[in-house]
Amino acid sequence: MPELRKSPILKRWVIISTERGKRPLDFKVVRDEPKEGFCPFCSGNEDKTPPEVLSYRDSGTGPDSPGWKVRVVPNKFPALQIEGDLNKRGEGLYDMMQGIGAHEVVIESPDHKKNLHYLGNDHIESVFCAIRERMIDLKKDPRFRYILVFKNWGKEAGASLEHSHMQLIATPIIPKRAIEELDGAKAHYAQKERCIYCDIINQELKDKRRIVYQNEYFIALSPFAARFPFETWVLPLKHISAFEKTDRNCFPSLVDIMKTVLLKLDKALFDPPFNFIIHTSPCNGIDFNYYHWHIEIIPKLTKVAGFEWGSGFYINPTSPEEAAEELRNIDISGDNQNL
């Protein structure tokens, strides 16, 4: 019997269709081999991107030249433009404003063929540090309300370049999904005076069935009302409202859990296309007692997009309990090359 489950935060129902019970092999996506052509993100091609806004590089090397480990550049084809005023205006029923914002690309390493989780732990930590540095800087701009940080891996997940990278988009409005999460968490706090994410973590720690992995400061779990097969969330165990407020001594733990989860997903699902998104607090600087930052990882395995987009109703053919068990049991000891 399929089960209907409600997200405790977003009040969205999903159908967990266990009788369709898809196994990892059913989801195998045939991926293109890496191409050998020109790549603007590779070392030596620094002049093919806009000038870098941040880089971690060997001492003695200059900006926009080889010698970097992590490099952040403005997107050459930005979704939003950095220069200008918002010019908010209306037209009858409609509201609009200029598309002002920042759109940056974090090039995770000079290596064209290596995804984030195949880098050494220190290197991955540098990537997350670069993101934190850029977030702190962008939050100073009073035009911006939210910083969206995400990674698309694989053409099927929307990546237009195959060289591994992440993106930051600073927006002059708070995205709808962030508002919904904040509203849902606020309603819970108003009733209980507790953070709903903290409550979820406590319930999951007792239940254990949906835990994928856990270390000193973080937990990875299959959310109870997962929309997608093998959707996995990574949350700090202790309450922290915003990504950039995370203590630097928690970063090795963050690197460990992201690496572990992404390696497990790779091995279980044959290097699937995926997205991950950092869900964090808006730019207003408030230390929300009801909001808890986290990362949502979504392997892109199903194609039932239009119906879901139209209705907000999701059918997930793999139960979160099955997905978590599968991922827990994957042995990645041979794959973690901490170079």
- Measured CA to CA, the distance from residue 102 to residue 145 in angstroms comes to 11
- Options 49, 109, 115, 152; binder of its own copies; rule CB under 8 A: 152
Q: Does 51 bind its own copies (CB under 8 A)?
A: no
Q: How far is the CB of 63 from its own copies (least distance, A)?
A: 27
Q: Does 136 bind its own copies (CB under 8 A)?
A: no
Phi first, then psi, for residue 57 (nearest 5°) are -145, 165
Does the footprint of its own copies cover residue 322 (CB under 8 A)?
A: no
State the binding string over 166-185 for its own copies (x if CB under 8 A, else -). -x-x-xxx-xxxx-x-----
Query: Least distance from C-beta 74 to its own copies, angstroms?
Result: 14
Contacting residue, 34, 47, 79, 287, with its own copies by CB under 8 A: 79
Q: Does 161 bind its own copies (CB under 8 A)?
A: no
Nearest to 282 by CA among 319, 320, 244: 244
Contact set for its own copies, span 4-43 (CB under 8 A): 4-6, 8, 10-13, 15-17, 20
**Tokens in use for 88?**
């908010």
Nearer to its own copies, 69 or 151 (CB): 151
Residue whose CB is less far from its own copies, 180 or 335: 180
Structure tokens at 40: 């603007």
Query: With respect to its own copies, which residue has the nearer C-beta, 166 or 268?
Result: 166
Q: Which helix (H) or strand (E) holds 55?
A: strand 54-57
Find out whether 222 and 321 touch, Cβ atoms under 8 Å: yes
User: Binding residue for its own copies (CB under 8 A) from 55, 109, 275, 281?
Assistant: 275
Task: Please list the residues that pair with 308 across neighbouring strands.
Answer: none
DSSP 260: H
Task: Based on the shown chain and the rule CB under 8 A, indicate whether residue 44 belongs to the binding site for its own copies.
Answer: no
Query: In the structure encoding, which two tokens stand for residue 261, read together?
Result: 């989860």
* Contact status: 307 vs its own copies (CB under 8 A): yes
Catalytic status, residue 294: no
Report, in Å, the least distance between residue 211 CB and its own copies: 15
Contact by Cβ (8 Å): 200, 192: no
Query: Phi then psi for 16, rounded to 5 degrees?
Result: -95, 105
Q: Which is catalytic among the residues 117, 123, 163, 165?
A: 165
**Minimum CB distance to its own copies, residue 65 (Å):** 29
129 binds its own copies per the rule CB under 8 A = no
Nearer to its own copies, 140 or 303 (CB): 303
Q: How far apart are CA 157 and CA 259, in angstroms?
A: 19
* Long-range residue pairs from 35-40, CB within 8 A, at least 24 positions apart, any chain: 35/162, 39/112, 39/161, 39/162, 39/163, 40/76, 40/161
What amino acid positions are annotated as catalytic residues?
A: 165
